[in-house]
Amino acid sequence: MGAKRVRPARVVACVGPLLALWMLLVLLGVRPHLERTHLRAVIDHPAEVAQALRENFARKFFFSAANPPTKNLLPKNPVITTTTRAPATIPPPPPPGQRRRLPPPRLADNSTAATTTTSTSGRPIEKPPPPPSPPPRPSSKKGAGPPPRTAAAARYASHDEAAGAPRGTLTCDGRFVDSELIYWRDVPADRALERAPYKRPGGEEQFLTFEYDAGGWNNIRMGVECMLVFAHVTGRTIVLPPAQQLYLVSKEFEKRRAFGLAAFLNVTLLSSHRGWKTRPMPEFLADVVRSKGVEPPAQSKGPALWGFMKRNADAMLPPVTRKFFVFPDGDLADDSIINTTTTHLRHGKQQPGRRSSRFARRLDAFAQGRQPLFYDQGLRAARHLHAAGSGEHRILMNFYSFAFFADPRAAAFYRRFVRDYARYRDEIQCAADKVVRAIRDRNGTYYAIHARRNDFQYRTAKIGAQEIIDNLGGYDIIPRGALVYLATDDPKGKCQGCMYDRKPCSSYPVPRPKEYGCPDDPSWDPFARHGWTVLVLDDFRSTLLPDLNPNHFGMVDQLVCSRAKVFAGTFWSTFSGFIHRLRGYHGLGEASYYHTKGRVHSLRDPRRMGPGWMREWRSGWSDDERGYQS
């Protein structure tokens, strides 16, 4: 006998309502997965499939953990191979006396912030952060031994795992100190991540040399952070520049004025990271440069050294002004990725592939008119890559706007990498901890202002104390009677380094035009008349910091400002910008302002990232891409 004949009218009568129900499920957020076997099941078993879909719908919207279904909702017919998602559960009602709270957003310190619910008495009830994700199970295949070294190191930490990681440690005078300044965390998966997806295959060691920025310390720091990220993602060994006199941080200490990176950042901590490798410049010149048959310069620092590097490097990092690096998924040698990405940014065309819309949206928000650069075959093949530090090669931007990662997990990892490993030396942190404790002893709550003057090139931002008060709205931001910590390069309030047309400000009569950058009254006396009690670092230097390197004073100022209840900085200042990021690590990023006219509320900007160098953005400390607006 032949196969059973299916009547067309019966098929239409059964399939029509089922397809309508399926479309309704899609609109409501349920995504039933249909395959050919499902369609065959609809034809052969219409009644059973209809019952399964009806009950699946009920389980999605009417059952919960407190009211589970009493039986298996899907029939055990082998013909129906429906793929279902885990049932959504309605959370149980809160205990008596408490109110339901929304899930906490991913913001602030980009890590764990204890979730709180509020009782009827108004007392906050702390809820501990979620535990870290369990480690992956070992392979059950016969003969499978322990994974290779790189296998465990190729996994990015999940958000919950990173948020649940323990706080880092701070060692002061040989003992651990529980300081409120600690914002860094110890994320085991991050510590072990030596993955370099864009390293040239073959195992040969590759190098990255770079020049310091010609500006002050915070300009230098921004370029260094970009190079740390670039070296890690490309698997290159960083060659540390030799000690040299740096602009504004070359005050004499221990009979020397030349300092290297290790004098400011915790290079020992960086070296402990499994994926970060470094070599000192003398060793690189002796072992690598001489192996090429090239004799290093006799003067291994300054212009002579950097000119030699530019002439003898295998490749130069391209100019990065108004540009950024793109690290897409997959093989960077694929020209189609480069071509389609460039075409999209130039002409607004969509990226190909199933993730094109999300990739294009993130790429547009990141680019903001800039052009992409790629770690192409030419750069990848160069054993020695050199990054210049001047002209169009100047790397003056935030590290999170320097490199775009198609994989958001990679972007989150490098945010944490810079936060947890590229931090100030412990002795700087300890000095700031002493100052913060002393301030807390005087008044549990304090506010902070950074006022940049002297050689600052943006003259309209060099203003007097009364104008700062007026711009902040009197008592709107900092209240009457507040204890204010003032971080400034002009603690005496004389503006001695302020000049216009190469003449000191004191040589010009009062009133002076604002474009001169010469406040009529440079003193800080208006703060006291306004009812604020003002403290500066000089009030603590002789008693708490007698042996501290004077080149660390500005860094101590930044750390002290990072813990203030409210902070008001100077727009265009990378010094103020880094304070803003530090406050973001602590969850205080939104309690930050500028005292520059017209810029007071700039940090309320809804965008989470922007190009340039004049300020920091939420993208520097937050993984939450819901605020990724262009």
- Is residue 554 packed enough to be buried (19+ CB in 10 Å), middle (13-18) or exposed (0-12)? buried
Work out the pLDDT band at 15, boundaries 50, 70, 90. low
| 268 φ/ψ angles, rounded to the nearest 5 degrees | -60, -40
Tell me: pLDDT of 349 over 60. no
State how far the Cα of 489 lies from the Cα of 450, in Å rounded to an integer. 9
Looking at residue 451, its pLDDT comes to 97
Q: Residue 274: exposed, middle, or buried by beta-carbon count in 10 A (0-12, 13-18, 19+)?
A: middle
- Record the pTM: 0.74
CA dist 348 and 548 (Å) reads: 54
Peptide bond into 511 cis (omega under 30): yes
**How many whole angstroms separate alpha carbon 589 and alpha carbon 604?**
10
Give the tens place of pLDDT for each residue, 239-286: 999 999 999 999 999 999 999 999 999 999 998 888 889 999 999 999
Tokens of 49: 């499939």
Average pLDDT over residues 179-194: 92
Question: Would you state the structure tokens that stand for residue 530, as one six-digit string?
Answer: 């306004």
DSSP string, 371-406: EEEE--HHHHH-SEEEE--SGGG---S-HHHHEEES
Name the pLDDT band for 365 (thresholds 50, 70, 90): confident
Pairing of strands 278-280, 237-240: parallel
The pLDDT of residue 146? 32
Mean of the pLDDT values across residues 324-340?
65
More confident residue, 41 or 496: 496
Most confident of 54-58, 116-120, 495-499: 495-499
Question: What is residue 532's predicted lDDT score, i.e. its pLDDT?
Answer: 98
> Whole-angstrom Cα distance, residue 63 to residue 72?
13
Residue 113 has pLDDT above 80, yes or no: no
Cα(603)–Cα(620) distance, rounded to whole angstroms?
13
Q: What share of the chain is helix, strand, coil (3-state, %, to 5)?
A: 40, 15, 50
Task: State how far the Cα of 492 lies from the Cα of 485, in Å rounded to an integer.
Answer: 14
pLDDT of residue 173: 94
- How far apart CA 359 and CA 405 sit, in angstroms, is 10
pLDDT in tens, 417-448: 999 999 999 999 999 999 999 999 999 999 99
Residues 6+ apart with CB under 8 A from 215: 247, 396, 574
CA distance 187 to 418: 13
Comparing CA positions, the residue from 307, 265, 287, 571 lying closest to residue 427 is: 265
Nearest CA to 195 out of 159, 163, 148 is that of 148
Going by C-alpha positions, the residue among 406, 389, 399, 402 that lies closest to residue 421 is 399
Q: How far is CA 303 from CA 307, 332, 387, 395, in A?
A: 6, 34, 14, 18
Top pLDDT among 1 and 388 is at 388
- Is the per-residue pLDDT at 41 higher than 60? no
How many residues in the chain?
630
Structure tokens belonging to residue 583: 């406050």
Residue 421, Ramachandran bin (φ over 0: left; ψ between -120 and 50: alpha; else beta)? alpha
Q: What is the mean pLDDT of the chain?
A: 79
Is residue 67 over pLDDT 90? no
| Most confident by average pLDDT, 9-13, 97-101, 201-205, 227-231 | 227-231
**Residue pointed to by tokens 């400034």:** 488
Q: Average of pLDDT values for 399-414? A: 92
Q: How far from 81 is each of 21, 77, 201, CA to CA, in Å?
A: 18, 8, 43
Give the integer Cα–Cα distance in Å for 530 and 432: 27
Q: Tell me what pLDDT residue 19 has.
A: 72
The pairing of beta strand 503-504 with beta strand 499-500: antiparallel
- What confidence score (pLDDT) does residue 425 get? 97
Higher pLDDT, 5 or 219: 219
d(CA 147, CA 154): 11
Q: In this structure, are residues 382 and 205 in contact, taking their beta carbons and an 8 Å threshold?
A: no
Give one DSSP letter per residue of 265-314, joined into a string: B-HHHHHHSTT--EEEHHHHIIIIIGGGT-PPPSS-SHHHHHHHHHHHSS
For the ranges 12-26, 316-330, 433-447, 522-536, which has the lowest average pLDDT?
12-26
Q: What is d(CA 292, CA 282) in angstroms, rounded to the nearest whole number?
A: 15
Whole-angstrom distance, CA of residue 256 vs CA of residue 191: 34
The pLDDT value given to residue 119: 36
Contacts of 495 (CB under 8 A, 6+ apart): 453, 454, 462, 505, 518, 519, 522
Q: What CA–CA distance (Å, rounded) separates 592 from 604?
A: 9
Output the pLDDT for position 154: 56
Q: At residue 177, does pLDDT exceed 80?
A: yes
Q: Tokens 């004499």 sit at which residue?
A: 252
Could you tell me if residue 399 is left (phi over 0), alpha (psi between -120 and 50 degrees) or otherwise beta?
A: alpha
The torsion region of residue 488 among left (phi > 0), alpha (psi -120 to 50) and beta comes to beta
pLDDT band at 356 (very low <50, low <70, confident <90, very high): low
Inter-CA distances, 33 with 22, 25, 79, 85, 507, Å: 10, 11, 15, 9, 79
- pLDDT reported for residue 159: 85
201 pLDDT band (50/70/90 cuts)? confident
pLDDT reported for residue 362: 83
For the cut 50, the answer to whether the pLDDT of residue 589 exceeds it is yes
What average pLDDT does the segment 74-88 reach?
37
> For the CA atoms of 23, 26, 28, 31, what is the dihedral angle to 10 degrees?
140
Residues 6+ apart with CB under 8 A from 3: none
pLDDT (0 to 100) of residue 87 = 41
Residue type, 592: S
Span of 86-95, 324-333, 612-621 with lowest mean pLDDT = 86-95
Q: What's the confidence (pLDDT) of residue 182?
A: 98
Model confidence band, residue 100 (pLDDT cutoffs 50, 70, 90): very low
64-78, 337-351, 469-483: least confidently modelled range: 64-78
Percent of the chain with pLDDT over 70: 70
Q: What percentage of the chain exceeds 90 in pLDDT?
A: 55
Instruction: Answer whether 328's CB lies under 8 Å from 408's CB.
Output: no
**Residue 575: count of CB within 10 angstroms of its CB:** 24
Strands 371-374 and 384-387: unpaired
Residue 484: exposure state from Cβ atoms within 10 A (0-12, 13-18, ≥19)? buried
